[in-house]
Amino acid sequence: MISYILRRLAATVPVLFTVAVMVFLMLRLTPGDPAAIIAGDNATTQQILDIRTKLGLEQPIVQQFFIWLGGLARGDLGESFFFRKTVFELISERIEPTLSLAFLTIVLAVVVAIPLGVLAAYKQGTWIDRIVMGFSVIGFSVPVFVIGYLLVYIFAIKLGWFPVQGYQRIGNGVGPWFRSLVLPAFTLSVIYVALIARMTRTSVLEVLSEDYIRTARAKGQTEMKVLFQHALKNAAVPIVTVVGIGVALLIGGVVVTESVYSIPGLGRLTVDAVLARDFPVIQAIILAFSFVYVMINLLVDLSYTIFDPRIRY
């Protein structure tokens, strides 16, 4: 087990290196010039050149890459081209809202989706099944921002139950924090609920045809317990996998949701940084997201051992 984790951790190094190279190259080849953006509207060509030199953008790309890599190795993510702040500082102040949003979204999605999926599987072919699956397909079909605007219009403007936008730090109290995140989490979780409910249904359906379900029934077990004790635990591995895969999906959704709800998280930072060509920030964020993704997949793989004793590393 330990050696497995070590091996997996070691394997993340080449993956992240690939990511680093690709991201770095992609950014340096983009047409945008951060120096021009920094210099502003009235800048002359010479001023822009000065700034480029100052930012180190005039060095050969390979050299820039190794300077950056060297910094990374020392744990130094560099400094934003724009803000008088280090990338580390920028990311760490943005991490709480994004984590909160992602956390609430996943909790909400799991709590809603899994019972729905189990129900649909149990009632396979009935109208309940069709409604649940119909909802899940619609969940895939409506763009996130449309859902966001609709929810804001109904629940914030018409009903006034939740704030229109903004984020309350958890330090200001759990109540306000939660209220500020209800609509964003709902918006973001729609596609997630759809995804997990479908996976749960499929996976439970498959398990329900297994012999040990028949065994459990032959013992006289009640249907509820057959579903939730025997079926769900066996169906857990693909469900957990899809939750893990969904993290990638979530990251995309976070960008849009944070824009709609003005949540000062990493998603917004990413868009801002990309639009401003703030290379050090973009590089660090993509690398961080990739790292999180890889780690979550490792956690997912490790969680298999909890759900399925046959899996040992």
Partner 1 sequence: MKSVKLSRRTVMAGAAAAGALASSTGASAQGAQNVLRVVMHSDLRIIDPIWTTAYIVRNYGYMIYDTLFALDAKGEVQPQMVDKYTVSDDKLTYTFTLRDGLMWHDNQPVTSADIIPSIRRWAARDPLGQTVMGFIGSMEAKDPKTFEIKLKEATGLLIFALGKPSSNVPFMMPKRVAETDPNTQITEFIGSGPFMFVRDEWKPGDRAVYVKFAGYKPRSEPASGLAGGKVAKVDRVEWRVITDQQQAVNALQAGEIDLIEAPSHDLLPLLKADRNIKLFNWNVLGNQYTMRFNHTVAPFNNPKIRQAVLYALNQEDFLKATIGDPEYYKVCKAMFVCGSPLETMAGMEDKLESNFAKARQLLQEAGYNREPVVLLHSTDLQVLTNLAPVAKSLLERAGFVVDMQSMDWQTVVARRVKRDPPTQGGWSAMLTSWVAADILNPVMAGFFNASGDRAAFGWPTDPEIETLRARFARANTVAEQKQIAEAIQRRVSEAPTHVHLGQWYSPGAHRGNISGWLEAPAPVFWNMEKGRGA
Partner 2 sequence: MTAPASSEPVASADAPIAAPAKPTVWRKLFRSPSVVIGLAIVLVMVFIGLIAPLIAPADPTAINPGARNRVPMATSTMRLDDGTRATVTHYMGTDTLGRDVFSRVVYGARVSIFIGVAVALLSISIGLVIGMIAGYIRWLDGIIMRIMDGLMAIPAILLAIAVVSLSRAGIVSVIIAIVVPEVPRVVRLVRSVVLSVREEPYVEAAVVSGTPTVKLVLRHILPNTVAPLIVQGTFICASAILVEAILSFLGIGIPPDIPTWGNIMAEGRQLFRIFPHNILYPGIFLALTVLAVNMLGDGLRDTLDPKMEKRG
Partner 3 sequence: MSAPILDIRNLTVELPKGADRRNAVENVSFAVYPGEIVCVVGESGSGKSVSSHAVMGLLPKGQLKATDGEIMLEGEDVLQATSSRLRALRGTRMSMIFQEPMTALNPVVTCGEQIDEVLQIHTSLGASERKEKVLAVMESVRLPDPAKLFDAYPHQLSGGQRQRIMIAQALVLDPVLLIADEPTTALDVTTQAQILKLIAEMQERRGTGVLFITHDFGVVAEIAHRVVVMQRGRVVETGTAMEVLKNPQHPYTKMLINAVPTLTPPVREERTGELALETVKLCKVYGGGGFFQKKREVRAASDVEIRVRRGETLGIVGESGSGKSTVARCIARLIQPTSGGIVVSNIDIANLPERQLRPHRKHCQIVFQDPYRSLNPRRSVGASIIEGPMNFGMSEAAAIAKSRDLMNLVGLSPDALDRYPHQFSGGQRQRICIARALAMEPEILIADEAVSALDVSVQAQVLDLLDDVRKTFDLAVLFITHDLRVAAQICDRIAVMQNGVVVEHGKTAEIFAAPQHEYTRALFEAAPGRNFQFARVA
Q: Which residues of 203-240 are buried (b: 16+ CB within 10 A; e: fewer)?
A: bbbebbeeeebeebeeeeeeeeebbeebbbebbbbbbb
Out of partner 3, partner 1, partner 2, none, which partner does residue 36 contact, by CB within 5 to 8 A per kind?
partner 1
Chain centroid to CA 144: how far? Answer: 14
106 in contact with partner 2 (CB under 8 A): no
Q: DSSP of 142-173, one letter per residue?
A: S-HHHHHHHHIIIIIIIS--S-SS----GGG-
Q: 3-state SS of the chain: helix, strand, coil percent to 5?
A: 80, 0, 20
Least CB distance to partner 1 at residue 286 (A) = 17
Among 165, 221, 241, 259, binds partner 3 (CB under 8 A): 221
Residue from the set 69, 112, 131, 271 that interacts with partner 2 by CB under 8 A: 271
Per the structure block, which two tokens stand in for 75? 């744990």
Tell me the Ramachandran region of residue 160: left when phi exceeds 0, alpha when psi lies from -120 to 50, beta otherwise: left
**Residue 219: contacted member of partner 1, partner 3, partner 2, none (CB under 5 to 8 Å, by partner type):** partner 3
CA distance 293 to 244: 8
Stretch that binds partner 2, among 75-83, 221-229, 249-257, 301-309 (CB under 8 A): 249-257
Of the pair 25, 224, the CB lying nearest partner 2 is at 25
Other Cβ atoms closer than 10 A to 36 = 16
> Residue 33: which H helix or E strand, with range?
none
Q: Please choose, out of 80-88, 174-182, 219-227, 268-276, the segment that lies near partner 3 by the rule CB under 8 A.
A: 219-227
90's contact among partner 3, partner 1, partner 2, none, with CB below 5 to 8 A by partner kind, is: partner 1
Q: Which residues, 233 to 272, sit near partner 1 by CB under 8 A?
A: 259-262, 264, 268-269, 272
Q: Closest CB to partner 2 among 23 and 168? A: 23
User: Pseudo-torsion of CA 166, 171, 176, 180, nearest 10°?
Assistant: 30
7 binds, among partner 1, partner 3, partner 2, none (CB under 5 to 8 A by kind): partner 3
Residues 6+ apart with CB under 8 A from 243: 106, 110, 196, 300
In 10 A of CB 304, how many CB atoms? 17
Q: How many residues bind partner 3 (CB under 8 A)?
A: 23
274: contact with partner 2 by CB under 8 A: yes
14 binds partner 1 (CB under 8 A): no
Taking the complex as a whole, how short is the minimal distance between the CB of residue 199 and partner 2, in angstroms? Answer: 6
- Among the listed ranges 7-15, 41-49, 246-254, 284-292, the one in contact with partner 1 (CB under 8 A) is 41-49
How many Å from the N-terminal Cα to the C-terminal Cα in the chain? Answer: 5
Q: Which residues bind partner 1 (CB under 8 A)?
A: 31-34, 36-45, 47-48, 50-51, 54, 82-85, 90, 93-94, 149, 152, 156-157, 160-166, 168, 172-173, 175-176, 179-180, 259-262, 264, 268-269, 272, 275-277
Q: Which stretches of the chain bind partner 3, using CB under 8 A?
A: 3, 6-7, 125, 210-212, 214-222, 230, 233-234, 307-310
